[in-house]
């Protein structure tokens, strides 16, 4: 220690200050402080407002030199440094110094960024359902390599030993509420992605979903494949079948891979489009295809079976084949399903 003290005595003031900054943050990291404590200590050291933001959670912490959390609108950052973890930018730290930068500001920010990355890795993301869409897209993108996907999952709060299920959702309900309903007691993250909501969950309980929520559930272990499956399953949802699991589709999933032009040009599907112009006829066709029985369809529609029989006869004339025959029911079911996929 004496030798170290002698060496330090020969350093100039700026170099000595930089070493003290390093020692200051080493002490904080040994004490395993959280983000607010890290911000407060840094603000006291820098003698100005300090800010920390994590992209994955959207959380921002700002502290003043007196140790208080600052909630007022932030002043322009006088200097900033990205927080990186495993070569990926996960946030930003900054100083809000009213005057020119101090001689040790760069050293403070560098060590603060390293400490913030360690805190983020140690404590994980905040327990919120909504997540950064960029991180979620990194998880489900087919263009992501496995290392990047693993880092994104870790930043979202999913451990390497946890299974991740992917759900594609359309609903007027907030995504965070849907995520909480699907997976109330285990890690779950949600984010909007273009026209669809994405939910990443360790378990999926669809019985808790309100009937107005449309959800497609992927089956693959890999999140990118599971996302494609979830999108496909979502296309098969209907008002009467609002939740569809990809693995329950079986061979029907192949219909989603048929080019749209080929579907549009098919005579059976075009005929279903004509039937769909009449709400009662469409409801009758859907009930009959779903139940495979005239009497069960009548029960679903709350009609006498003779009334349903007359409707099916008229629908059969529009379609050009007999719905009461086994082959006719199969054709109608496939045509109706493909028409719904085309209609979106």
**pLDDT tens-digit readout, 167-194:** 999 999 989 889 888 987 778 899 999 8
Whether residue 22 is found in the same domain as residue 116: yes
* pLDDT tens digits for range 212-233: 999 999 998 899 999 999 999 9
Among 98, 123, 148, which residue terminates a domain?
123
128 in any annotated domain: no
Whether residue 217 is found in the same domain as residue 298: no
* pLDDT tens digits for range 299-309: 999 999 999 99
Residue 208: CA count within 13 A, CB half-sphere: 12
Q: What is the mean pLDDT of the chain?
A: 88
* pLDDT tens digits for range 253-301: 999 999 989 999 999 999 999 999 999 999 999 999 999 999 999 999 9
Q: For the chain, how many structural domains are there in total?
A: 3
Q: What is residue 14's predicted lDDT score, i.e. its pLDDT?
A: 67
Whether residue 175 is found in the same domain as residue 197: yes
| CATH code of the domain containing 109 | 3.30.450
Confidence at 344, pLDDT banded by 50, 70, 90? low
Integer distance in angstroms from the first to the last C-alpha of the chain?
73
Among 82, 104, 123, which residue terminates a domain?
123
Whether residue 61 is found in the same domain as residue 172: no
Q: Are strands 49-54 and 59-63 parallel, antiparallel or unpaired?
A: antiparallel
Is the pLDDT reported for residue 67 higher than 70?
Answer: yes
Whether residue 39 is found in the same domain as residue 109: yes
Confidence at 12, pLDDT banded by 50, 70, 90? low
Average pLDDT over residues 57-72: 84
Is the pLDDT reported for residue 78 higher than 50?
Answer: yes
320 in any annotated domain: yes
Whether residue 9 is found in the same domain as residue 110: yes
Whether residue 14 is found in the same domain as residue 114: yes
| CATH code of the domain containing 327 | 1.10.10.2840
Whether residue 227 is found in the same domain as residue 194: yes
Whether residue 228 is found in the same domain as residue 278: no
Domain limits for position 325: 258-343
Is the pLDDT reported for residue 4 higher than 50?
Answer: no
182 in any annotated domain: yes
Among 72, 99, 123, which residue terminates a domain?
123
288 in any annotated domain: yes
227 in any annotated domain: yes
Whether residue 210 is found in the same domain as residue 169: yes
Higher local confidence (pLDDT), 236 or 56: 236
CB < 8 Å & 24+ apart, contacts of 135-138: 135/55, 135/56, 135/191, 136/189, 136/190, 136/191, 136/193, 136/198, 136/200, 137/191, 137/193
């Amino acid at each position: 220690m004496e030798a170290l003290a002698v060496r330090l005595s020969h350093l100039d003031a700026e170099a000595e200050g930089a070493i003290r900054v390093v020692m200051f943050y080493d002490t904080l990291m040994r004490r395993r402080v959280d983000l607010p404590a890290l911000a407060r200590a840094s603000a006291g050291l820098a003698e100005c407002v300090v800010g920390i933001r994590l992209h994955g959670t959207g959380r921002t912490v700002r502290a003043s030199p007196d140790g208080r959390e600052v909630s007022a609108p932030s002043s322009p950052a006088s200097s900033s440094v990205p927080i990186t973890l495993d070569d990926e930018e996960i946030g930003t730290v900054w100083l809000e110094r009213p005057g020119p930068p101090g001689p040790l500001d760069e050293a403070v920010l560098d060590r603060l960024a390293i400490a913030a990355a360690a805190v983020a890795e140690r404590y994980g993301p905040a327990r919120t359902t909504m997540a950064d869409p960029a991180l979620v897209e990194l998880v489900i993108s087919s263009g992501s390599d496995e290392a990047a996907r693993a880092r994104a999952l870790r930043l979202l709060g999913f451990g390497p030993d946890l299974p991740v299920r992917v759900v594609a959702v359309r609903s007027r309900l907030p995504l965070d509420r849907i995520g909480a309903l699907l997976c109330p007691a285990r890690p779950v993250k949600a984010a909007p992605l273009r026209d669809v909501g994405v939910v990443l969950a360790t378990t999926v309980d669809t019985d808790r979903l309100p009937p107005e929520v449309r959800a497609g559930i992927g089956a693959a272990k890999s999140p990118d494949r599971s996302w494609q499956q979830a999108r496909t399953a979502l296309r098969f949802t209907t008002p009467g079948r609002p939740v569809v699991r990809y693995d329950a589709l079986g061979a029907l999933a192949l219909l989603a891979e048929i080019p749209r032009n080929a579907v549009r040009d098919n005579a059976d599907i075009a005929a279903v489009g004509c039937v769909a112009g009449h709400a009662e006829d469409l409801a009758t066709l859907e009930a009959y295809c779903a139940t495979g029985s005239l009497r069960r369809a009548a029960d679903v529609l709350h009609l006498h079976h003779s009334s349903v029989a007359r409707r099916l006869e008229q629908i059969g004339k529009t379609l050009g084949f007999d719905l009461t025959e086994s082959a006719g029911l199969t054709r109608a079911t496939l045509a109706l399903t493909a028409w719904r996929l085309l209609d979106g």
